[in-house]
Amino acid sequence: SRRRHTRCSGVSWARRCVQETVVTNNSTKSRETYTKTLAHYDFVPNIDEICNTSWLTAGYIKEKYPEVTKAYVIGREGIVTELQNQGIEVLGSTADDNKDVTPKECEYIEVDKDVKAVVVGYDHGFNYYKLSYAYYCIAENGAHFFATNEDSISPVGDQGRLAPAGGTMVKALQHCTKPPIVTGKPNPYGVEKILKDCQIDRSKCLMVGDRLESDILFGINGGINTLLTLTGVTSEEILQQQIELGPKGIIPTYYCDKLAL
Amino acid sequence: FFFFNDTATTEIYTEQIVGSVRCVQETDVKALTQFEFQPSLEEVYSVSWLTAQYVKENYPEINKVYVLGREGLVEDFQKEGIEVVSSISHDNMQIDPKSCEYIEIDKDIKAVVTGSDYWFNYYKISYAYYCITENNAKFIAAIEDNILPTANKGRFRPGGGCVAKALQHCTHQPFVVGKPNPYGIKKIIQNFGFDNQKCLMIGDTLDTDILCGINANIHTLLTLSGVTSEEALFNQKEISPNYYIDKLIL
């Protein structure tokens, strides 16, 4: 169907009779933590309305790779909690933050042979020990390599300054191993899961987001309409560049300056 | 002439190379002396030295850099009169995402140079990111090695290039000085007036050593005693050495 580039001035109708699900590539928190984080906004989702990438990743592994019983995590508590909720034992994460092992000693690390998956997301405690451990699991033990997302940058703090995001950890490991299976946006697995769980028709869905290569592509891959807000990572200039690429561009159905709920 | 792609030098070799400090990894020189070969200073090219030369020649206006690497790279830049903010000083910096807001970079840094820093952390990657994106600093990578051999029974380990790739993902493609960039070979050929047809590049890694020689338009010899196996050589068609041999006996 033809894509319409309709500029919306605000989407105040969104709250009427519409089910909303928050889809986030931030893997540092569990779903439960998100209900608390979002509680001070007017929009208060309950736990079933949160589709964050740690929860998606754990569900994806459980569903499609049931043989995985133990995973090594480069990431924070969110991924750990969600994997454990699926009955998967977890090594690494914050426990390996301050490992007192020199790079030379890393050459002699003996990894747990039962680790069948390495799961990587944003990790501000990323270090050479974790990179090495994950490398050995994949290269020597044939473990699967999952990435919660490949986001390059993300706003942090109150001023929204940009900082390197989870994709940077993923690319470091990818460079010495192989491309990962990306479970978060833009993998449309999340779309399928939501449609199935909520019993909704695809044509009645709208994906709203500020990032072309994760949010909008997620919606496009999932066969649903998309709305880009220019309040975040993507500027109108970047959007225009994509439109000029024609069929090769990532182009949303709609875009707007900001979303006023 | 010997090219070394590893810049993770913690031991500075001062004894055998007379009269000067040349930041070559001790293990590199030990490997050479096994062959009863005593290289002179001009015959050993470490990529840290090459990278400093590259910046000096191509960006003479740059007088301060952030080195995401170790002593070897730091000192080779300092010897060219370029001031260095070294990532070694950030070894113990812990950071959480919110605190990234408060990282203040030195605004005089005009280039970020990545080498091998196995003590990398999120603070260093963020610092380098801000230099590049907020200060418009150039991004130059000494190496892009993905894996390297270890001393542990034929095992490999992640190479120094992994951090460069992490930084690349949130900024842009760097200029890579080390192999397979033929910069070093071309520098030698130019300095000494050699004939390309009379030069041979010998190495054990297809996508750094051999590709470097091909890019420099000289002959290439692959030894199967290291990173690239015979199987790996014939499982691909992109890179073809002129010759290959099981191992080199000098």
ipTM, two decimals, is 0.83
CB B24 within 8 A of CB B4: yes
DSSP string across chain A: -PPP-EEES--GGGGTT----EEE---SS-HHHHHHHGGGSS----GGGEEEHHHHHHHHHHHH-TT--EEEEES-HHHHHHHHHTT-EEEEGGGGTT----TTGGGG----TT--EEEE---TT--HHHHHHHHHHHHTT--EEEES----EEEETTTTEEEE-HHHHHHHHHHHS-PPEE-STTSTHHHHHHHHHHT--GGG-EEEES-IIIIIHHHHHTT-EEEEETTSS--HHHHHHHHHTGGGS---SEEES----
For residue B180, is the peptide bond before it cis, meaning its omega torsion is within 30 degrees of 0? yes
User: Using the beta-carbon criterion (under 8 Å), do B161 and A169 form an inter-chain contact?
Assistant: no
Please give the pLDDT value at position B5.
61
Query: What is the pTM (predicted TM-score) of this model?
Result: 0.84
Q: Which residues on chain B are in Cβ contact (under 8 Å) with A122? A: 97
User: Using the beta-carbon criterion (under 8 Å), do B129 and A124 form an inter-chain contact?
Assistant: no
CA B97 to chain centre: 30
CB B182 within 8 A of CB B216: yes
Please give the pLDDT value at position A42.
59
| Cβ atoms within 10 Å of A69's Cβ, excluding its own | 12
Counting Cα atoms < 13 Å in the Cβ hemisphere of B117 gives 34
Q: Which of B7, B100, B116 to mutate to test the interface with A (most CBs of A within 10 A)?
A: B100
User: Using the beta-carbon criterion (under 8 Å), do B170 and A108 form an inter-chain contact?
Assistant: no
pLDDT tens-digit profile of A61-78? 999 999 999 999 999 999
Give yes or no for residue A221 having a pLDDT over 70: yes
Q: Which residues on chain A are in Cβ contact (under 8 Å) with B159? A: 175-176
Q: How far apart are CA A55 and CA A249, in angstroms?
A: 29
User: B230: part of which helix (H) or strand (E)?
Assistant: helix B230-234
User: Using the beta-carbon criterion (under 8 Å), do B152 and A125 form an inter-chain contact?
Assistant: no
Q: Which residues on chain A are in Cβ contact (under 8 Å) with B167? A: 164, 168
Q: How confident is the model at residue A100 (pLDDT cuts 50, 70, 90)?
A: confident
User: What residues in chain B have their Cβ under 8 A from chain A's Cβ atoms?
Assistant: 8, 95-102, 118-122, 125-126, 129, 133, 144, 146-147, 150-152, 155-159, 161-163, 165-170
pLDDT tens-digit profile of A174-215? 999 999 999 988 999 988 988 888 888 899 899 998 889 888
**How far off is chain B from A152, nearest CA to CA, in Å?**
5
CB pairs under 8 A between A and B: 107
Q: Which residues on chain A are in Cβ contact (under 8 Å) with B161? A: 175
Strand partners, B113: B67, B140
User: Using the beta-carbon criterion (under 8 Å), do B170 and A123 form an inter-chain contact?
Assistant: no
Q: Rank A29-33, A67-71, A98-102 by mean pLDDT and report only the highest.
A: A67-71
